[in-house]
Structures are given as structure tokens and as C-alpha cells.
């Protein structure tokens, strides 16, 4: 019988729960919600403040499977009211449009709802359910996860704490402590870093179009995205050596206008930036995703280039799979799903890695590589001229292959 919360003493506190979750990003928060709803005790330890976690600007295109998970986590009310449904998106190659009709080709639309909103909804739901959610936890350290009695230590307001648990979920992102705690010999890392980044800008302006526009242009990639009918999110490809300070708003708008097709440029409404940042473009996978009683989920285990918006969806799918596996372990003592978590998730992760890599290769400027440019041209011809090619793109975009074995 696993005890619920108990505190001993008031200086060094010692606690016990079933699952300690490290990191309150979408992976950690969604996992916490799903576990709590299944009656599994858990605690979430987050290094940053609540305000920081709730204000980070990230992507916002949700696969149908992610929407289902948010519904299962009972955090979908605001999403239902505010989200946009996109039946398709546009690809533009040197001014020429190709429409990818997701609903027609793959049978489902995507949902546009920002990760920032999802995080706020999840935090509110966790707090309303009295989940132990500790912000500004310092020196969080996963311990003894190779044995049967793992624990996590941390400090808060000058006090040290220890939580004994059955399992640790490493949901602490790419720079977190969990993956770094695994002995190097036990982990294999696969990585490709590209020599450019995405400069993103958020503005309170009406989007240029009703659907997203992915643009391949000789000056570099651009993306017209949105968070709502009045809030736009735009990106331009920049060298990885660039700094945000070199990009005042006026320069950003000029560059975007030069890359997007003429009709969109005419409709473009500019305004001051609410946020502007540069994200590196990286593909990364850590294998396996389980080390004894430590399970990795989300960016802690894998990163995809943002083209195709798979990062958040993968993190959510990890959380869903881990919650399910833990529920069957606690429900019936059945450990099979936990045993196969890593292998199952990695199969899906690599499909998303492949897709994100392909989509990036097709749409970005690779300096000095004329061969790559000609291949991009052929790739676009294939996509625009062949329903089969567009179907493959659409199926990957809506995440049709999640949790499915290859057939
Ligand atoms: N101790 C506690 N918390 C930590 C630590 C640590 N040592 N290190 C990192 N964290 C926290 C971070 O502050 C962050 O809030 O872990 C959280 C990880 O959240 P994300 O980076 O958002 O990762 P994840 O939940 O896997 O979500 C992935 O976010 O980065 C995007 O594109 C990515 O959309 C994808 C999604
Ligand atoms: C975003 O809106 O931030 C976004 C949309 C689609 C992507 C990547 C990012 O492929």
C-alpha cells in the first residue's frame, strides 16, 4: 500500500508519493493531470517560477491525438472555445502555392492553440486538484533510480527536501537534469544541428491568411502562423550566429515581406512585437527512454526541428503513453507497458524525426549547396503534382502514425 502525502518535521521534510515528475512543461503537467485522474499520486518539481512557465512562447499546432489527450486530461474547455480548426495549410516554393488539404487527404484537421495557453490550462487544473506542484525548486536531483527505491532531492526557500517514490518521470526538457544523471555508457545520443535558426515574432495583428503558409524562398525559409484571428506568429530563417538585437521589428517585417508571396505581402499587417526570439534547429534523440525506474518524456529525450510542429505533439504523446503504462502497472501489477514504453515511443519519435527533417530539408536555404536547391525543386514538384505525395505529407502532419506499429 502506497502512502499518501506525509510530512516529517518542519526543517528537512521527507515525503512519499508514487511518481515524482521533474519539469512542469507540457510533458510533465499533462502527465501529472492524467496520473491524478487515474488516482495515482504524484508531485511535480519545477525549477522556474510559475509566471515564467506560463509565459513562454512556443509552438501551437495540435494533432488530433494531442487534442484527445487534453480532453482526457479535462483541460479542454478553453481550447474548445478559443482554438482555431485548420483543414489545411499552404506550401509556397518561390512564389508558387500548393495547398495541402489535411481533411481531404488524411481525414482530420489540426487545431491551432498555443502551447502557452495549454500550459496555463494545465497549471490551473493541477492546482485546482491540489496536486503537489513546486515552482522554483532548486538543485532537483533524481537518485537511486536504478534500484527499487528511487528518490528525488531538492531545495526550496533554503530548506532541503526528499521525496521517496516508485518512479521518476524526467520531463525536464533538453537542458534538464534527468538525462544528464544517466551514466553515459547507458545512453546513446543521436544528433544533427543545422547552421541556422528560426527568428520568431509574435504580434497583435490579424494573420495574413486563414491557414498557415510555409515558404521556401531563395533568401531563406519563412512561416506565417497564428495564435488566433487577431494574433500572428511569424518566423524567418536566420544564420545561427544571428542575435535578436540585430533584428529590430522594422527589419523583421522587411525581410518577411520579401520572402512571402506577393498577395500575402500585400495583406501583411505589421505591428510591434510582443515577443521575439531565435530558436536553434536541431534533431536529437536519446535512447533508450527508460533507465530502471527513471522514464524520460518530451524534450528531455528528443528534439525535432520545428518545421511540422511535432515537438509539443511528441511530448504530449509521451505523457499519454507513460500515464497509460503506469496506470496498468498500478491497476493490475502488469509491468509490460512500462517495459515496452521506450521501444514503443522511440518508434513514433523516429517517424516524427524523419518527417521534421524531410520538411526542413525541403523548405530551408542551404547556403552554397546548389544540388540541394535542385532537389528541393524536384521535391516541390512531386508534392504539388502528386496526391500520393501530398497524402504522405498530410498523414505525417496530423500525426496519423502515433502509437501504431509499422504495417
Ligand atoms: N529541475 C526542475 N525543472 C527543470 C530542470 C531541473 N533541473 N531543468 C529544466 N526544468 C524544467 C524547465 O524549466 C521546463 O519548465 O522542465 C520543463 C521542461 O519543459 P519543456 O522544455 O517545455 O519540455 P517538454 O515539457 O518536454 O515540452 C516540449 O516544449 O520546447 C518545447 O518544442 C518543444 O513543444 C515542445 C515542448
Ligand atoms: C507556430 O505557430 O509557432 C508554429 C506553427 C507551425 C510550425 C512551427 C511553429 O511548423
For the stretch 240-295, pLDDT in tens is 999 999 999 999 999 999 999 999 999 999 999 999 999 999 999 999 999 999 99
How many angstroms separate the Cα of 94 from the Cα of each of 48, 116, 308, 359? 42, 32, 19, 16
Q: In the prediction, which pLDDT does 9 show? A: 35
What integer pLDDT is reported at residue 13 of this predicted model? 59
pLDDT at 405: 53
CA of 197 relative to ligand 2 center, distance in Å: 13
Q: Could you give the residue numbers annotated as active site?
A: 86, 214, 306, 310, 397
Instruction: At 65, give phi and psi (nearest 5°).
Output: -65, -35
Rounded to two decimals, the pTM is 0.95
| pLDDT at residue 8 greater than cutoff 70 | no
Classify residue 280 by its DSSP letter: E
The DSSP code sequence of 296-313 is: E-GGGTEE--STT--HHH
pLDDT of the residue at 2 = 30
Mean pLDDT of the chain: 94
Give the position of cell 546548389: 370
Question: What pLDDT is recorded for position 192?
Answer: 97
Burial of 256 (0-12, 13-18, 19+ CB in 10 A): buried
pLDDT of 333 higher than 90: no
CB of 310 shorter than 6 A to ligand 1: no
- Residues 89, 57, 175, CA angle at the centre, nearest 5°? 110
Question: Torsions phi, psi of 145, nearest 5?
Answer: -75, -5
State residue 302's pLDDT score: 98
Atom 3 of ligand 2, nearest CA residue: 59
DSSP, residue by residue, 185-204: GG-EEEEEEEEEEEEEEEES
Q: How many CA atoms lie within 13 A of 364 on its CB side?
A: 23
- Ligand 2: residues with CB < 6 A are 59-61, 212, 225, 233, 306-309
Mean pLDDT of 190-217: 97
Q: How confident is the model at residue 401 (pLDDT cuts 50, 70, 90)?
A: confident
Amino acid at each position: 500500500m502506497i502512502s499518501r502525502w506525509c510530512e516529517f518535521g518542519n526543517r528537512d521534510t521527507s515525503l512519499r508519493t508514487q511518481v515524482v515528475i521533474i519539469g512542469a512543461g507540457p510533458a510533465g503537467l499533462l502527465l501529472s493531470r492524467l496520473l491524478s485522474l487515474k488516482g495515482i499520486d504524484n508531485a511535480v518539481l519545477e525549477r522556474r517560477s510559475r509566471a515564467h512557465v506560463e509565459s513562454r512562447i512556443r509552438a501551437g499546432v495540435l494533432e488530433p491525438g494531442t487534442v484527445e489527450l487534453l480532453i482526457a486530461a479535462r483541460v479542454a474547455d478553453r481550447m474548445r472555445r478559443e482554438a482555431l480548426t485548420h483543414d489545411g495549410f499552404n506550401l509556397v516554393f518561390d512564389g508558387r502555392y500548393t495547398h495541402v488539404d489535411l481533411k481531404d487527404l488524411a481525414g482530420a484537421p489540426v487545431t491551432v492553440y498555443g502551447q502557452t495557453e495549454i500550459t496555463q490550462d494545465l497549471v490551473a487544473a493541477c492546482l485546482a486538484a491540489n496536486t503537489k506542484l513546486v515552482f522554483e525548486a532548486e538543485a532537483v536531483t533524481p537518485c537511486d533510480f536504478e534500484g527499487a527505491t528511487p528518490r528525488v532531492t531538492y531545495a526550496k526557500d533554503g530548506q532541503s527536501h526528499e521525496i521517496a517514490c516508485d518512479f521518476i518521470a524526467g520531463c525536464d526538457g533538453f537542458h534538464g537534469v534527468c538525462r544528464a544523471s544517466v551514466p553515459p555508457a547507458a545512453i546513446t545520443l543521436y544528433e544533427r544541428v543545422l547552421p541556422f535558426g528560426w527568428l520568431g515574432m509574435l504580434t497583435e495583428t490579424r494573420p495574413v491568411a486563414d491557414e498557415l503558409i510555409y515558404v521556401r524562398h531563395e533568401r531563406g525559409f519563412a512561416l506565417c502562423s497564428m495564435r488566433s484571428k487577431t494574433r500572428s506568429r511569424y518566423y524567418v530563417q536566420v544564420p545561427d550566429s544571428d542575435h535578436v538585437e540585430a533584428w529590430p521589428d522594422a527589419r523583421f517585417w522587411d525581410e518577411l515581406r520579401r520572402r512571402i508571396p506577393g498577395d500575402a505581402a500585400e495583406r501583411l499587417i505589421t505591428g510591434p512585437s510582443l515577443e521575439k526570439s531565435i530558436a536553434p534547429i536541431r534533431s536529437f534523440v536519446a535512447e533508450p527512454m527508460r533507465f530502471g525506474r527513471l522514464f524520460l518524456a518530451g524534450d528531455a529525450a528528443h528534439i525535432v526541428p520545428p518545421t511540422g510542429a511535432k515537438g509539443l505533439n511528441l511530448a504530449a504523446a509521451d505523457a499519454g503513453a507513460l500515464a497509460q503504462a503506469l496506470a496498468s502497472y498500478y491497476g493490475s501489477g502488469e509491468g509490460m507497458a512500462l517495459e515496452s514504453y521506450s521501444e514503443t515511443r522511440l518508434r513514433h519519435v523516429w517517424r516524427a524525426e524523419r518527417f521534421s527533417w524531410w520538411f526542413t530539408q525541403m523548405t530551408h536555404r542551404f547556403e552554397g549547396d546548389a544540388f540541394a536547391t535542385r532537389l528541393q525543386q524536384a521535391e516541390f514538384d512531386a508534392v504539388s503534382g502528386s496526391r500520393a505525395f501530398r497524402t504522405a505529407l498530410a498523414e505525417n502532419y496530423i500525426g496519423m502514425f502515433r502509437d501504431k506499429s509499422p504495417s
